[in-house]
Amino acid sequence: MSIKLITLDLDDTLWPVDDVITRAEAIYYDFLCKQAPELFTKLDKEDLRNYRLQHLKKHPELQHDISRWRLDSLSCQLQEAGLNAVQAQQLSEQSFEVFLEARQDVALFPHAEQVLAELSGKYRLIAVTNGNADVNRMPIGPYFFGAFRAEDLKISKPAPELFEAALEAAGVTAAQTLHIGDDPYYDIEPAMALGMHTLQACITDKHPATGPAFSDWRQVPRQIQQLDQTER
């Protein structure tokens, strides 16, 4: 049975995420400082981060919706700092849009875009991510048939729902699907548990290979071709 669908994790699979988040956080904080300088002479980036973590402990249901988590956390913190509810909500929403725009400004791993373009002509590609990266706001968006984020379904990988949503959207079986991701726990193991084929992105050296893997996106088409021939 040949491969028809490729599901793809995003962060650390298509691009290195650490620098993206660091830059987005800096832009986000700079915006806040300009909008409310009297507050942010007292609140630094670490204060915001620590408050977010404490907010999650109080509201664990937000773990599957990181955008809402960031918004709600900042709004509460701003109100505690002296803004009224309307002011806090407005500033939270404005600053989040600044963060989210910066969050989409990613630099793909070498050769990843060329390979996506090639694969999209042969297979359906669907993004499945726990993060709030949005391929539809990126130049690579046209290569994707669909995208599912944890915050859309209110459930995160390694739970199977994101993978199952992709299978349903593409109208294929797990056996007709290849999942590409970097994390053994969040990507490889749950995909295999559903009966999907897997290919691990080992580009950042954060996770050792646990099975079929690649360290350069140029290796991927050949590996998929070999798998596809095996499955026919």
Label residue 86 exposed, middle or buried (CB < 10 Å: 0-12, 13-18, 19+): exposed
- Sorted by where each starts, the structural domains of the chain and their CATH numbers stand as 5-16+108-231 (3.40.50.1000), 18-103 (1.20.120.1600)
Return the pLDDT at 42: 86
Among 135, 192, 183, which Cα is nearest to 163's? 192
- How do residues 25-66 score in pLDDT, each as one tens digit? 999 999 999 999 988 988 898 999 999 999 999 999 898 999
Q: Sign (positive/negative) of CA torsion 42, 45, 51, 54?
A: negative
- How do residues 91-145 score in pLDDT, each as one tens digit? 999 999 999 999 999 999 999 999 999 999 999 999 999 999 999 999 999 999 9
Q: What is the pTM of this model?
A: 0.92
Beta-strand relationship, 177-181 and 146-149 = unpaired
Rounded distance, CA 65 to CA 209, Å? 29
- How do residues 141-178 score in pLDDT, each as one tens digit? 999 999 999 999 999 999 999 999 999 999 999 999 99
Q: Sign (positive/negative) of CA torsion 218, 221, 224, 230?
A: negative
